[in-house]
Amino acid sequence: MAKNTYIDLFAGCGGLSLGFFNSNQWKAKFAIEKSPDAFETLRYNLIDRKNHFDWPEWLPMTNHDINEVLKNYSDKLRSLRGSIDLVAGGPPCQGFSTAGRRVESDNRNKLIESYVKFIRLVQPKLIFFENVKGFTQKFDKNKIKGRIYSEYVKNPFNEK
């Protein structure tokens, strides 16, 4: 039986990928994770030991910054259209979290834009977007008042 294909963005040490692996319904194409230590954990557990990834030759099997992947491999990402069932991932959420300071100007918040660019290039059938409760709440105390970042993710996909 053919398995569904997916790409794991902001993969960390592979928690979401482990869940997909355990379901026995999915096969990963590749994962994007900036942290070398987190990527090495993912690689050890899911690539080397479980053979869960069908890694493309054009992408070095190492940690990557999503913006560097977008810059250097946009044509390769575009060529994946029609072959990827799902893109999973949760961009960093520290700037949104109600457990923290909720700083709208936190540079990590901009990684949502990178997530959207990636989705637009690959055009998977589904997206799995994980984040925190604060992601759907307005920033009332900052200079750019009222921006709800969840709308930023949804709106580009509602455009025709």
Residues identified as active-site? 93
- SS3 state of residue 114: helix
Here the tokens at position 141 are 């105390």
- CB contact at 8 A, 134 and 102: yes
Burial class of residue 81, CB neighbours in 10 A (0-12, 13-18, 19+): exposed
Contacts of 103 (CB under 8 A, 6+ apart): 95, 142
